Amino acid sequence: MADVFQWVMSAANHKGMVNALAHDIRQAMADQTDLPIKAVFDLLPLEAANADEIIGKGGGKFKISGNQFENVSDDEVVAELYDPVLKEHVVSLPATFGGTLDDTDGMLTITFQPALSLEIAELADLGVQRSAFQWIVSIALTDEVSLTTLHDQTSENFHTWIEAELVDDRTREMKISADVTDIATFKSRDACAGDPSDPNWYVYQKRGGLCFPRHGRIAVGGSLHYTLLAGPATKDVCDQYISINCENDFC
């Protein structure tokens, strides 16, 4: 039976980026083509101390076969990451890791097999009976939310749902499984890096037509996958540009 801690945070400013990522994964599934790690990493609202090492792992790509994905390299990579809410955290990427992809009823679910090891001190510091050592079991993406499921390495019955809301005032329709015995919810501060009034927002277009706003420039090399269309400007100005100039967007 599971004891669930639900960690909810707003990520509305990153809706375009997260939805663009989901689109890229779905396209790779449909085409049965490799998915570049660079294309994934550029759309995540994370900072990484060793970004080049992460992006280059296993030839810099996920192999897609059917509903399976896999990355194979000679060595494990320890990803040192930073997020405004999660703070510093570390994900261990084994030499070979992968899992399954499922796209059902508008929800794209990425299940890691085996689960990935995560060290996240901020979770333990919340005082909710969770250790800093977790397993990343899955990530589910819809147009409105990103939900990461963690299992505590010290007790498999202690689960954590990290829920990043991509729209404000989202209507909740929670489907709680029968094995959940207790659930507690904590709302954290805004997870969005970048104030909407900050004049450092840009508009990028995915090769293929999808537009999205991003706070800050995509790193050198991102031009292989994305074209800079506008900016720097405030997020409102970037949103207006997209509404006028982009037929297909995620805003």
Q: Is the dihedral of CA 240, 242, 245, 249 positive or negative?
A: negative
Query: Residue 170: its pLDDT value, please?
Result: 54
Three-state SS for 74-106 is CCCEEEEEEECCCEEEEEEECCEEEEEEEEECC
For residue 43, pLDDT beyond 60: yes
Query: pLDDT tier at 1 (50, 70, 90 boundaries)?
Result: low
Of the listed ranges 53-57, 104-108, 157-161, 184-188, the least confidently predicted one is 184-188
Query: Residue 200: its pLDDT value, please?
Result: 84
Supply 101's token pair.
């992809």
Centre a 10 Å sphere on the Cβ of residue 220 and count the other Cβ atoms it contains. 6
Contact (Cβ atoms closer than 8 angstroms) between residue 170 and residue 163: no
Query: Residue 221: its pLDDT value, please?
Result: 47
Of the listed ranges 1-15, 78-92, 200-214, the least confidently predicted one is 200-214
pTM as predicted: 0.75
> 234-245: per-residue pLDDT in tens?
988 988 888 888
Centre a 10 Å sphere on the Cβ of residue 122 and count the other Cβ atoms it contains. 15
Alpha-carbon gap, residue 43 to 111, rounded angstroms: 19
Q: Side chain identity at 124, as an amino acid letter?
A: A
Q: Which of 140, 52, 130 is nearest to 99 (CA)?
A: 140
For residue 180, pLDDT beyond 50: no
> 69-113: per-residue pLDDT in tens?
999 999 999 999 988 778 889 999 999 999 999 999 999 999 999
Contact (Cβ atoms closer than 8 angstroms) between residue 179 and residue 218: no
